[in-house]
Amino acid sequence: MSDQPLIQIEKTGPVAVVTLNRPEKLNSLTPSMLDQLEVAAGNLEADTALRAVVFTGAGERAFCVGADINEWAALAPLDMWRVWVARGHRIFDRWATLRLPVVAAINGPAFGGGLELAAVADVRVADPAATFALPEASIATCPGWSGTQRLVSLIGPSHVKSLALTARRIDAHRAYEIGLIDEIAEPKESLKEAIAIAERIATLAPVSVQLTKQLINAASGHGAGATLEAMAGALSATTQDAQEGMASFRERRKAQYEGQ
């Protein structure tokens, strides 16, 4: 077994490249990989030098073919809910709400949980040979990591039903037509093109980019309450009244607010 981490992070200036590193298993996801994805999100969020993140899969055979069936098939029903579905949802939501813009370089098949993972990105670039599917019904289960939720807001219920109820695969050109991906790269160039997009993002005003991402997410129905509260808090902190409030607290006196 390789000593390489299952989730690799390589930082070059303001851009980090995160790689699912299980190419021998088509980058299928295990509980350990979910844990490492959660840790990686926290580390990236805390790195103030970063301005964008690129997400891809190792090797040339797949981006991610979803959950490792051997890992979750052995779980008891309650563990499936608590350990697998609930944890995966939490971690995917964590990535979807990452402060930094995320660009997915889909270098091969993105099936099931792999497609759901690609959906957390803000921009998706795919290799022309990439394929996409929600095959869960073919093995008597259901999409478990927001395939019936986030993907609906991304491409609409009709297209999600077409994928999930038939378990069929679609190619990159069809994925582009329905809005599942944003660009089709030249062959074998999806990572290069995704990095170029991330580098372009990194040249822009970072706070404006990050706030804009939150606003668009809120408009799509994701995190609207948290976005409003965060922006209200940030705005109020810029006022003279906020300075007076803190000063009065430190000096143990009654505040004199002027609405400024």
Catalytic residues: 116, 136
d(CA 218, CA 222): 5
d(CA 19, CA 22): 9
189-198 burial, b at 16+ Cβ within 10 Å, e below that, comes to: ebbebbbbbb
The CA-atom distances, in angstroms, between 202 and each of 38, 103, 190, 195, 206 are: 23, 12, 18, 10, 7
The helix (run of H) or strand (run of E) holding residue 72 is helix 69-72
Contact status, residue 164 vs residue 137, Cβ threshold 8 Å: yes
Give Cα 241 to chain centroid, integer Å: 37
- Euclidean distance between the first and the last CA atom of the chain, given in angstroms as a whole number: 62
Residue in the structure block whose two tokens are 């697998």: 84
